[in-house]
């Protein structure tokens, strides 16, 4: 974990140093360039750093110019509350996820024992099976609803996330797209259920505590972004996260199957290795590279451009929560790099989830039900 923290500090401090040097040198020119200041397209890395510096300097601590909007906060918890149907939908979906695990975990474990799976794989397979099904389904739906359906362009043009009527009397009465509401409800239910699953059902891993923090941060972001009607921003977060998770869980299922009867299946090895390569690429491309250029670009520069037409409400809290996700992305990115190094140096005889807390024999995990 110390190395992971060092990796995170190194990457974030390097980015900050680059931003401070490159930005300050060009900030005066940028301030005079009207074309640059109205640029809304997804930026390059250099422009992202420059734009974010300008936005943070203007919006983060300028309390007099952008005061706290108490009336909006009150409206969030009155006019912005979900309907009874939406609450029932979330509760029913959350309960369904938990019951699925409670019912099917013992059945899967019994089948795995008959199939002569390794003990450590038999412990991990049920939770991985559930997550694999969930992420493949929700990712497919998310890609279709957000991108392929053609109904929305906010992923391609992040600044359109904030194209809403700023009039507070009409703000919360504006209709929300049904497809995005469904995505929000299912995702919120999943992370609520996951708090229970990680705590009581899943095997203990090195990052179990950080996973709980991740889920709590995610639930907070989903809940408050719904109340504030920032659904489009939340959907960008979903799309950039779920693709990697779908690949990861599918690859882990193949790894566990490949260990059944203590035999290796060449085809399974090839497919699981290919999925690991795809997962590594998707993680660093979507979460390390694209997440700032889409998500943080929208919540910083796009808000900055619209500051004269809308109040940047909850600018600092939301961006701090998003920054927490960025930090966790880098920590998990360090774990992925460690796995890559172990494979290249021949220190791992097969792909493993290196987050798992192993005993001295390298196989047996801590099981919460043991």
DSSP-assigned letter for residue 44:
P
The answer to whether the beta carbons of residues 145 and 183 sit under 8 Å apart is: yes
The answer to whether the beta carbons of residues 158 and 213 sit under 8 Å apart is: no
Render pLDDT for 153-187 as a digit per residue (tens, 0 to 9).
998 888 888 888 778 888 898 889 999 999 999 99
CA angle 45, 40, 323 (to 5 degrees): 50
Q: In whole angstroms, what is the distance from residue 261 CA to residue 286 CA?
A: 36
Residue 248: how many other CB atoms lie within 10 Å: 23
Q: In whole angstroms, what is the distance from residue 128 CA to residue 246 CA?
A: 10
Q: In whole angstroms, what is the distance from residue 40 CA to residue 18 CA?
A: 22
CA angle 38, 43, 44 (to 5 degrees): 135
Mean pLDDT value across residues 21-38: 41
Whole-prediction pTM: 0.80
Distance of alpha carbon 227 from the chain centroid: 19
3-state SS, residue 61: coil
Tokens 């987050």 -> residue: 355
- Reported confidence tier of residue 12, pLDDT bands at 50, 70, 90: very low
Mean pLDDT value across residues 296-319: 89
* Listed residue (221, 142, 134, 128) closest to 177, CA to CA: 142
Here the tokens at position 222 are: 């989903």
Q: In whole angstroms, what is the distance from residue 324 CA to residue 136 CA?
A: 25
Burial degree of 130 (CB within 10 A; 0-12, 13-18, 19+): buried
Where are the chain's structural domains? 67-344
Helices 231-258 and 178-200: crossing angle in degrees, nearest 10, is: 50
Render pLDDT for 202-235 as a digit per residue (tens, 0 to 9).
777 777 787 888 888 889 989 999 999 999 999 9
Residue 142: how many other CB atoms lie within 10 Å: 24
Render pLDDT for 246-267 as a digit per residue (tens, 0 to 9).
998 888 888 777 765 555 566 6
Predicted local distance difference test score (pLDDT) of residue 348: 59
Predicted local distance difference test score (pLDDT) of residue 88: 97
Burial degree of 360 (CB within 10 A; 0-12, 13-18, 19+): exposed
CA angle 304, 310, 313 (to 5 degrees): 80
């Amino acid at each position: 974990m110390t190395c992971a923290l060092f990796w995170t500090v190194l990457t974030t401090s390097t980015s900050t140093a680059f931003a401070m040097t490159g930005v300050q040198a060009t900030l005066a020119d940028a301030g005079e360039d009207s074309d640059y200041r109205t640029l809304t397209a997804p930026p390059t890395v250099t422009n992202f750093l420059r734009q974010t510096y300008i936005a943070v300097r203007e919006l983060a601590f300028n309390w007099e110019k952008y005061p706290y909007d108490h009336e909006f906060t009150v409206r969030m918890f009155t006019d912005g509350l979900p309907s009874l149907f939406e609450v029932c939908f979330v509760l029913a979906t959350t309960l369904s996820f938990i019951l699925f695990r409670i019912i099917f975990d013992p059945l899967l474990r019994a089948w795995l024992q008959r199939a002569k799976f390794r003990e450590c794989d038999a412990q991990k397979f049920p939770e991985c099976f559930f997550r694999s099904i969930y992420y493949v389904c929700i990712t497919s739906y998310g890609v279709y609803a957000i991108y392929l359906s053609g109904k929305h362009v906010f992923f391609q043009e992040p600044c359109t996330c904030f194209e809403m009527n700023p009039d507070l009397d009409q703000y919360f009465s504006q209709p929300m797209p049904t497809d995005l509401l469904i995505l929000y409800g299912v995702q919120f239910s999943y992370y609520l259920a996951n708090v229970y699953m990680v705590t009581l059902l899943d095997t203990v891993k090195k990052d179990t505590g950080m996973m709980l923090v991740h889920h709590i941060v995610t639930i907070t972001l989903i809940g408050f972004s719904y109340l504030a009607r920032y659904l489009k921003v939340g959907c960008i977060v979903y799309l950039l996260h779920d693709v990697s998770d779908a690949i990861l869980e599918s690859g882990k299922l193949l790894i566990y199957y490949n260990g059944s009867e203590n035999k290796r299946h060449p085809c399974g090895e090839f497919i699981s290795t290919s999925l690991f390569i795809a997962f590594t690429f998707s993680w660093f491309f979507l979460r390390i590279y694209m997440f700032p250029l889409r998500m943080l670009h929208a919540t910083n520069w796009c808000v900055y451009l619209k500051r004269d037409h809308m109040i940047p409400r909850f600018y600092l809290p939301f961006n701090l929560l998003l920054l927490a996700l960025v930090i966790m992305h880098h920590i998990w990115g360090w774990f992925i790099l460690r796995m890559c190094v172990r494979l290249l140096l021949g220190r791992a005889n097969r792909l493993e989830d290196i987050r798992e807390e192993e005993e001295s024999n390298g196989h047996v995990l801590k099981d919460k039900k043991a």
